[in-house]
Amino acid sequence: MAEQETQEIVLKGLGVAPGICIGKAYLVDKQGVNVVKKYYVDASDLHKEENRFKSAVAKARQELCTIIQETPRELRQHTAILETHIVLLQDKLLYGRTIDTIQQFRYNAEWALKNVVDELKAMFQNMSEPYFRERGADIVHVSDRIMRNLVGGEPINIKDIDKRVILVARDLSPAETSQIQLERIKGLVTDGGGIASHTGIIARTLEIPAILGLNNATRIIKNDDFIVVDGSAGLLILHPTEQTLIEYEERAVRYERHRALIARESRMPAKTVDGISVQVMGNIELPEEVVAVRDYGGNGIGLYRTEFQYMGRRGFPTENDLFDKYRDVVEVMAPRPVTIRTLDINGDKALPNQPDTDEANPALGLRAIRYCLKKPEIFKTQLRAILRAALYGNVRIMFPMISCCEEVRAAKALLKEAAESMAAQGTEFEYNVDVGIMIEVPSAVAIADMLAAEVDFFSIGTNDLIQYALAIDRGNRYVSHMYRPLHPAIIRMIKTVVDVGHQKGIKVYMCGEMAGDPIYLPVLLGLGLDELSMNPQSIPLVKNAIRKLSIKESRAFMYRIFKEKKESRIESFLKKAYAGVLFDLDLEEDIVV
Ligand code: PEP
Ligand code: MG
């Protein structure tokens, strides 16, 4: 019950997994990991110190292997990340440099490890892409585990928690998150973490409400404090009043009822009330997520981000490594399409083993297709793997960050070379695949007619298109209020791309975050996009919303808002016009009609 003398406190974070839970907080304590002692080791003891570090690493490896073996069935698909952590344990940057630091500076193992990790953390934090910043978090998780073994701390055993609680942690590693037992853990909140973190992905898979990025939740919340977690709105309420509690209990019931209804209908086609079927696809990062797309009723994969296979490993993946992963996804989805996006990394930042450049503005640098064209052998290895996987289903190839026709031609020439090299070797492959590009750079919008002549489809990447068109760094929280999908410039750009694409006879898809939020659906359907691709968990919600809309009305509505100059007016128009249709749940605070 709420206590009279304590005041209700509301904390805002990133709602990464929707839903509401109410219960007692359980603080996850990372013993001894945060306060690290420094001392010097006698030269004669350096070998012993090195061995002490090696034993801590060996123990960490053993722990991770055990966790993988004991991972519950519903989370098996996520053990790949734990395997990546096992590889990271031996990484040259982490393992090798810590040993060097012990030897060179005669530091104790804990201090040497801390120094190395601090450097690596700084390096990853400077990366522009949230995705890669999250991968920096993997290094921290792995080193925390080694550190705990070095200082003789108790391992965190989330699986041993024996009461119904909400986890509150500074950060949770994928290993810890994958020990969650659904019957005990109602939800989770963390100080750190972002939308692309694996903790978020796992929470969504388990369908437990989660808020990350709360900054100081572990400082404010105490064990057994009563809290409400609204994962949909990203709100945590500490010491809720009686009235707040009643309100959230009602919301939780409404949410569950709504979710059950939507889930029951997720396999049904997304047909508008005027009878038009819309293809609703899933975005994936890990091959294992393909199962979620299928289970949520996705019509295919609209974006397979392939960066992950290049991360957390020494050197580049081989053609066979990639082929195996792609084939798994393609086979599970067949005959539905799988759109494999070629490597979208920022060269040196993504692959710390291969430093190439020192870029002041990585988002405008040697990224994505630019990197691949500069590294044709790495690119062709990926292209060969994709063409081989295409034998097993319906594959589309998509090039990211295209800004001019020359890039498309050069990429297609390398695709042809990749095919020719396999033909010469007698390797089997399928060349008859759709080849498309992402439209995420404003110059591509301006020359959409020229680009359309080169490809089979466009897919609009609104995450980057908004960033580049509005000059708003997508990862910068100081300008996040200006990151607006309904900005008239963005609506016009999407309209141009769709109209030009259709005039030239090619399909136009969307795979940025904008496609997965029902609020934008009337605009997107009105604009005439052929396919929408989103995170797997949004698929049932978006399909449900599509069934309530009509293309004809959406078109008329779109023309009305097209004349509007202000984004805020467009948004309130949308909310007014579609209250009761898209927002009948009234779950989000900010939807006031
Ligand atoms: C985009 O930019 O909209 C997109 C889908 O690609 P990513 O988020 O991977 O940059
Ligand atoms: Mg992008």
Per-residue pLDDT tens for 300-354? Answer: 999 999 987 886 566 789 999 999 999 999 999 999 999 999 999 874 334 544 5
As a whole number, the mean pLDDT across the chain is: 87
* Mean per-residue pLDDT, 49-56: 94
Mean pLDDT over 411-436 rounds to 98
The closest of 553, 466, 559, 478 to 510, measured between CA atoms, is 466
Atom of ligand 1 nearest to the CA of 460: 3
Torsion of CA 217, 222, 227, 231, to 10 degrees: 30
Using alpha carbons, select from 516, 518, 522, 521 the residue that is nearest to residue 536.
Answer: 516
pLDDT of residue 2: 44
Q: Kindly report the CA angle at 305 between 465 and 309, in degrees rounded to 5?
A: 140
**Which has the closest alpha carbon to 362: 399, 414, 401?**
401
- Residue with the nearest Cα to atom 9 of ligand 1? 305
First to last CA, the chain: 32
Mean pLDDT of 95-121: 91
Q: Which of 195-199, 228-232, 424-428 has the lowest mean pLDDT?
A: 195-199
DSSP H helices in 215-346: 217-220, 242-264, 290-295, 319-333
Tell me what pLDDT residue 34 has. 59
Using alpha carbons, select from 496, 500, 481 the residue that is nearest to residue 571: 481
Over residues 168-179, the mean pLDDT reads 81
Supply 107's token pair: 């530091």
Question: For 440-445, which contacts have Cβ atoms below 8 Å and span 24 or more sequence positions?
Answer: 440/400, 440/401, 440/464, 440/465, 440/468, 440/512, 441/401, 441/402, 441/403, 441/465, 441/468, 442/468, 442/469, 442/493, 443/403, 443/404, 444/402, 444/403, 444/404, 445/469, 445/493, 445/496, 445/497
Model confidence at 552, pLDDT cuts 50, 70, 90, reads: very high
Contacts of 100 (CB under 8 A, 6+ apart): none
Q: With cut-offs at 50, 70 and 90, classify the pLDDT of residue 355.
A: low
- 3-state SS track over 7-24: CCEEEECEEEECCEEEEE
Q: What is the pLDDT of residue 589?
A: 39
Give the Cα separation of 120 and 383 in Å (integer).
Answer: 31
CB-CB contact of 115 with 460 (8 Å):
no
Residues near ion ligand 2 (CB < 5 Å) are 440, 461, 464
Q: Which of 404-408, 516-520, 575-579 has the highest mean pLDDT?
A: 404-408
- Dig out the tokens for 331 from the structure: 């086979």
Mark whether 502 is an active-site residue: no
List Cβ neighbours of 592 (8 Å cut-off, separation of 6 or more).
575
User: Average pLDDT for residues 246-254, to the nearest whole number?
Assistant: 93
Tokens of 50: 């090195």
From the candidates 85, 141, 487, 511, which is the catalytic residue? 511
Half-sphere exposure of 279 (CA within 13 A, CB side): 19
- Per-residue pLDDT at 362: 80
Residue that wins the pLDDT comparison between 407 and 148: 407
Taking the C-alpha atoms of residue 361 and residue 164, their distance in angstroms, rounded to an integer, is 46
Q: Which of 78, 85, 141, 198 is catalytic?
A: 198
Tell me how far apart the alpha carbons of residues 196 and 187 are, in angstroms, rounded to a whole number: 18
Q: What's the CA gap between 510 and 524, in Å, rounded?
A: 9
Q: For 124-142, how does the pLDDT look when each residue is reduced to its tens digit (9 = 90+)?
A: 776 656 666 666 778 888 8
Distance 21 CA to ligand 2 centre (A): 33
As a residue count, the chain comes to: 593
Residue 486's nearest CA partner among 582, 574, 571, 576 is 571
> pTM for the whole thing?
0.69
pLDDT, average across residues 27-36? 67
Q: Kindly tell me if the per-residue pLDDT of 4 is higher than 60.
A: no
Residue written as token pair 């291969």: 354
pLDDT of the residue at 315: 79
Structure-model confidence comparison of residues 4 and 503, the more confident one: 503
Q: Which helix (H) or strand (E) holds 563?
A: none
Residue type at 223? N
Q: What is the CA radius of gyration of the chain?
A: 25
| For ligand 1, mutation pick of 464, 472, 514, 529 (most atoms within 8 Å of CB) | 464
- pLDDT band for 431, please (50, 70, 90 cuts): very high
- Predicted pLDDT of residue 3: 45
Ligand 1 lined by 440 (C-beta under 6 Å): yes
Residues 6+ apart with CB under 8 A from 65: 86
511 a catalytic residue: yes
Reported confidence tier of residue 239, pLDDT bands at 50, 70, 90: very high
CA-proximal residue: ligand 1, atom 3 (nearest)? 461
The arithmetic mean of pLDDT across residues 453-457, rounded, is: 98
How far is Cα 161 from Cα 338, in angstroms, rounded to an integer? 40
| 27 touches 222 (CB < 8 A) | yes
- Span 577-591, mean pLDDT? 57
Beta carbon of 303 within 6 Å of any ligand 1 atom: yes
CA distance 373 to 380: 10
Q: How far is the CA of 439 from the centre of ligand 1 (A)?
A: 10
**Element (DSSP H or E) covering residue 371:** helix 368-374
Measure the CA–CA gap between 220 and 191, rounded to whole angstroms: 11
By three-state DSSP, how is residue 284 classified? Answer: strand
CA torsion sign, 86 to 344 to 170 to 123?
Answer: positive
- pLDDT value for 581: 75
The whole-number pLDDT of residue 299 equals 97
| pLDDT confidence of residue 419 | 98
Q: Select the highest-mean-pLDDT range: 255-264, 497-506, 539-548.
A: 497-506
Query: Is the omega angle on the peptide bond into residue 518 within 30 degrees of 0, that is, cis?
Result: no
The ligand whose atoms approach the alpha carbon of 285 most closely is 1
Distance 344 CA to ligand 1 centre (A): 9
Residue 225 near residue 24, CB atoms below 8 Å: yes
Q: How far apart are CA 250 and CA 266, in angstroms?
A: 24
Q: What pLDDT does 348 receive? A: 38
Residue 436 CB less than 6 A away from ligand 1: no
Atom of ligand 1 nearest to the CA of 462: 3
- In the reported structure, the alpha carbon of residue 99 is separated from the centroid of ligand 1 by a whole-number distance in angstroms of 38
Report pLDDT for 557: 92
For ligand 1, say whether the CB of 174 is within 6 Å of any of its atoms: no
Q: pLDDT tens across 514-534, in order?
A: 999 888 999 999 999 999 999
Ligand nearest to the CA of 305: 1
Q: Taking 60 as the threshold, does the pLDDT of residue 5 lie above it?
A: no
Secondary structure of residue 580 in the 3-state scheme: coil
Q: In what order do the strands lie in the sheet with 226-230?
A: 9-12, 235-238, 226-230, 20-28, 165-169, 185-190, 210-212, 14-17
Q: What span, in angstroms and rounded, lies between the C-alpha atoms of 450 and 367?
A: 22
Average pLDDT over residues 257-267: 83
Instruction: Give the per-residue pLDDT at 132.
Output: 64
CA–centroid distance, 440 to ligand 2, in Å, is 6
Under the banding of pLDDT at 50, 70 and 90, the label for residue 118 is confident
Give bridge partners of residue 10 from the DSSP assignment.
Answer: 237
Residue type for 182, please? L
Rounded Cα distance between 576 and 451, Å, is 38
pLDDT of residue 128: 59
